[in-house]
Each structure stands twice: as structure tokens, then as C-alpha cells.
Structure 1
Amino acid sequence: MHSDQGSVYTSYSYQEAIKRKSITMSMSRKGTPADNACIESFHASLKSETIYLDGLKNESTSIIIQTVVDYISYYNKNRIQQKLDYRFPIEYRQAAV
């Protein structure tokens, strides 16, 4: 899992939870959001196309989780990406394999 060096990701409890699940953690350099540009872009799209657009700021955790799960599926299977030669991410990945 890759993240920035925010306090949530560097906290002891988060690090322990990651270890328990045998997840390898990597972090971008401090103060360099360009290191994580792809995910920063994804998060911006997720927020602008769901949370803010649909007014979900005050919804329950379960609604937010389902919204994120649905958006990830949409993003990978139905959202054309200019940077991927106007293909869907899943289509681009399959062509690369």
C-alpha cells in the first residue's frame, strides 16, 4: 500500500494493523505530492464525482464505503482515461500484460 506521510498512515496503530494483515507499506517523500500523483488524481476524481456531486458529506460510513466500492469499479471498467490512450484502466492493464 502506498500513501503520503500523513499522521494517520504513520501512527503506531495504523502501522500495526498493516503488519497484521501482511501488507507492505511504502510512503512518498515528505512534502512531495508529485510522488503520489496518480492516487492524488484518483482521489480528486472520486471526491468531485461522488462525495461532493452527490452531497454525501454527512452520510453514514456504510453508504460512503459502498459509494467508494462502486466508484472504483466504474473508474476501472467504464471511465475512459486520456493518459491511457483513451482506454479504461482495466483494458489498458490487460493490453500491457
Structure 2
Amino acid sequence: MEQIPTITPEELQKKLEAGEKLELVDVREDEEVVFGMVPGATHIRMGDIPAKLDYFDKNKEYIFICRSSGRSGNVCNYLHDQGYKVRNMVGGMLAWTGETEYTE
């Protein structure tokens, strides 16, 4: 199986601080994201990804985030197989030390 590209939380933070426009998707459950998401991330639960494929654009790269990078890794494999450009944030939110945004 082809290795999915990854990004570390530190690399992601630097890109955000540099003002890069990134497509971030948080695949955690509702009760998890209330504690904060990476600023600018879109919340799409892992189980909803197959039904939301029309959200994704094959010309863009998406960075997937979950609690520890397991579920986001599964999502990356799934979308990669469908021909999407994906990257998994290693360590997930457990490793994220940057700012977080809270959703209502």
C-alpha cells in the first residue's frame, strides 16, 4: 500500500502562521470537537465522509485531523484510493500545541 503523505503539527502551525490557505478537515465526533479544533478546519465526521465526497475537490490537497491520527489516517487511505490529494496530521489533536477554535 502506498504511503500516505503526512504533516507534523509543527509544520502545519508554521504554514498557518505564514498565512497559507490550507484545506483542513477534522474528522472527530461532535463531542470531541467542542474542545477545540485547529483554526480554519472544517468539521466532517469520519462516518459522514463517504456521503460528502462532493465537498472535496481533486485539485486541492486536504489535511485530515483527528484525536491521535488513527481515524484521519483511515480517511486519508479511503480518499487517496478515490483519487484525492490527502495528508494526515501526525499525532492528531493530542500533539497539537497551537491555538484552537471552539465551535458552539
* Bigger relative contact order (CA 8 A; separation at least 6): 2
Q: TM-score, normalised by structure 2?
A: 0.27
Q: TM-score, normalised by structure 1?
A: 0.28
Whose radius of gyration is greater, 1 or 2? Answer: 1
Greater per-residue strand proportion: 2
